[in-house]
Homo-oligomer: A and B are copies of this chain.
Amino acid sequence: MSDEQELGITESKEHSPGDWYAEVVQKAELADYAPMGGFIVTRPRGYALWEAIQDNLDSWFKQTGVDNAYFPMFIPESYLEREKDIVEGFDPEVAWVTQGGHEELEERLAVRPTSESIVAPYMAQWVRSHRDLPLRLNQWNSVVRWEATETKPFFRTKEFLWQEGHTAHESDEEAWAETTLRLDQYQRLYEDVLGMPVLRGRKPDHDKFPGADTTTTVEALMPDGKSVQGGTSHHLGQSFAEAFDITFSDENEDERTAYTTSWGLSWRAIGALVMSHSDDQGLVLPPTVAPKQVVIVPIWQEDTKEDVLQYSSEIAAELEAQGVRVHLDDRDERNPGFKFNEWELKGVPVRFEIGPNEVEDEEVTVVHRPDGEDTVEDRADVTSAVFEHFDDVYEKLYDAAAERLDENVREAESREEILGTIGQHGGYVKAPWCGDEACEGEIKDQIHAEIVLVPLAEDSAARAASEFDDEHLPTPDHEGKDCAVCGEPAEETAFFAKSY
C-alpha cells in the first residue's frame, strides 16, 4: 500500500503544473536532480527518449548532406572573443576551467556554451575552393550555460544535451535555404514524431542569436498556456565568416567570403513532450518514441496461471518478431491493478490485458493510455492491429495538442487587449507591431510575456498558395494597421506569449 502511494502522482497538472511536472519526471524515472543545482541525472527511461529523437534527426540530417564531427568541449577565451556578439552574448554564462591538475592554466578555457567559435576557424582551414562548399557539420554533445535559475529538468539546466549543426555556403540564398531546411526538420520532429503541432517563424531582431542575421524558431504551446522554443535555426550571414576568415575561391578564382548557418535542438524537446501529453496518472508518450510500446499484463488465478502466461508469452514473441517494443509483466509479487498503475505512470501507450476469458475466446483486450479506451481484438489479428492502435494513440495525442493550439491563437489590437488576453487565457496573441523593442518591453514588464515569433515572409506565400487555411503557419497580417502598443504604423506581426 505504501508502495502504491509512492507510485502515484500526487500533484495536479491543472493546479500546480510546475510541481506536477517535477513529480512526473522523477516518478516516471526520466531524471533525478544532481547534487549541484542546475544539473540533472538522465535515467534510462529519459535517455531512451533522447535516443529516439537522435535516431530521427540524425537520419534526416545525413539524408540531406550533413556529416557528424566532434570538436573539443573547451574553447580558449581568445577564440571566444573573436566574434564580439558571441562573447557579449555568452560571457555572463560561461563556466571556466582555470586549473588543470595542480596547475593554473595560462589562458582560461570556456566549457562550450555553443561551438561557433571553435568550429568556424576550422571551417576556414578546410574550405579553400567553391568545390569544398557547402560544408555541413553536426555534433551531438552537451553544452553548459551558467544561468542562475531554478532547475527544471530538460527545460532549465546548466548543462544540456543537444545537437548543433554548423554549415558554410557560397551564397546568401543557399545559407537561407539551409536555415529553413533545418527548421523544417525540427518542425517534422515535433509534428510527426513527438505528436505536437508547432508554430514557426523568426525571432524579433533584438532577440536573435548573437551575431546572426536571422534566427528562426519552432514554438510549441504547453497546456499551461506558455510557449516552448522547440529548436532554433540561425542564418549567420557573414559575421562568423568575416571574424574567422572563412573564404573560398569561386569559379573565376576570385576570393569570396562564405555565408554560414547554425542550428540546434536540445533535450528541451523531451520536456515539451512530457508536459504536453502527460496527465495526473503520470507520463503519456506517443508510440513513436515510447521505449516500450506495449505492456502485456496477464491476469490469472492459481489454476489459470499456466495457460494465461503461455498465451501471453506467445503474443509477446509475435509482437517482438514484428519489431514492436513489448514488455510482458509476469511478476508474481504484484497484482494487475498495481501493474496497470505502474505502466500508466511510466507512459506505456498500449496495454494488453489477458485473462482466462481472453485465452478461452482467443482474444486480447487492448487499452489505450491517454484515455483508457478499450477494444477487444481477435488473437489472430492482434499483431497486425497493434499498428493501427499506435496510429490511433498518436492521433489522439496530436489532435488534443492541435486543438489546444488552434484555440489559443488570438488577436489583439491594443496594449490592453494583449495584456488582458494573455492574462486571462495564456496562449499566443497576434498583434501588429512597430518593430521597436520598447513596445515589447512594456508588455514584458507587466506580465512577463514576450514576442516569441514574427511570421516568415515566405510562409505567407506558402499559405496563400495552399488550398486550405493552415492555422499552424503564422503569416503576417499587419498591413495598414498600427502597432498595438504605441500606435505608430505597424511594420511586423508579432506573436506574444509567456515562454519557458
Contact = CB atoms under 8 A, between A and B. Distances in A.
Copies of this chain, whole number: 2
Interface stretch (A90-98, A188-196, A437-445): A90-98
A458 to B, nearest CB: 31
Contacts of A39: 72, 74
A122 B159 contact: no
Given A35-B79, A68-B44, A96 B95 contact: no
B97 A137 contact: no
Contacts of A180: none
B122 A72 contact: no
A111 B94 contact: no
A101 B92 contact: yes
Interface residues of A, number: 53
B94 A101 contact: yes
Contacts of A68: 44, 47-48, 51
Q: Name A's interface SS.
A: mixed
Given A34-B72, A69-B41, A98 B99 contact: yes
Contacts of A390: none
A476 interface: no
Contacts of A122: 32, 41
Nearest to A139: B47
Interface in A78-104: 79, 92-102
Interface in A125-151: 125-126, 137, 141-142, 144, 146, 148
A60 interface: no
Interface-centre pick from A96, A100, A121 (highest chain B CB count, 10 A): A100
Contacts of A94: 100-101
A453 B121 CA distance: 43
- A-B pairs, top 8 by smallest CB distance, nearest first, are A44-B67, A100-B146, A42-B70, A96-B99, A39-B72, A101-B146, A98-B98, A34-B72
11 contacts: A34-B71, A36-B72, A36-B109, A41-B69, A41-B122, A43-B126, A48-B68, A92-B102, A95-B101, A96-B97, A101-B148
